[in-house]
Amino acid sequence: MDESGPEERSKTLTEFSKFLMTDPIANGAYVIAHNGGRYDHIMVMAEMDRLAGPEATPPSFIMNVKTFISAEFTYKKQRINF
C-alpha cells in the first residue's frame, strides 16, 4: 500500500502542471494523450486550476457527453491546448 503523502503521490503531476503554466517553451503547447479526454487531461487541468488559484481563467472546452474533445487553459500569458 502506498503510504506516501498527497504531495509525494502527485509530485509528477504537480511538476508537469507547473512546467505547462510557467515555462515559455510550453506556451501554446498542444497536450496529447491516448485517453486524454476521459482521464489524463482532466487530471492535468484540475491540478493546473488548483495551482493557479483565484488567478485562473476558467478553461474553455468542447465536450461530447462525458469526454473532452478539446480544451484551452489560460494562466497569465500561458495558453495550453488539450
pLDDT tens per residue across span 6-16: 556 579 999 99
Residue 2 has pLDDT above 50, yes or no: no
Residue among 65, 68, 60, 75 at smallest CA distance from 43: 68
Run of H or E residues at 14: helix 11-22
* Helix/strand/coil for 27: coil
pLDDT attached to residue 30:
94
How confident is the model over 27-79, as pLDDT tens digits? 999 998 888 777 888 889 899 999 998 888 888 888 888 888 899 999 999 99
pLDDT attached to residue 1:
37
Residue 25 CB neighbour total at 10 angstroms = 7
| φ, ψ dihedrals at 72, nearest 5° | -135, 130
Q: Going by DSSP bridges, is the β-strand pair 78-81/60-64 parallel, antiparallel, or unpaired?
A: unpaired
User: Within its chain, how far is the Cα of 74 from the centroid?
Assistant: 10
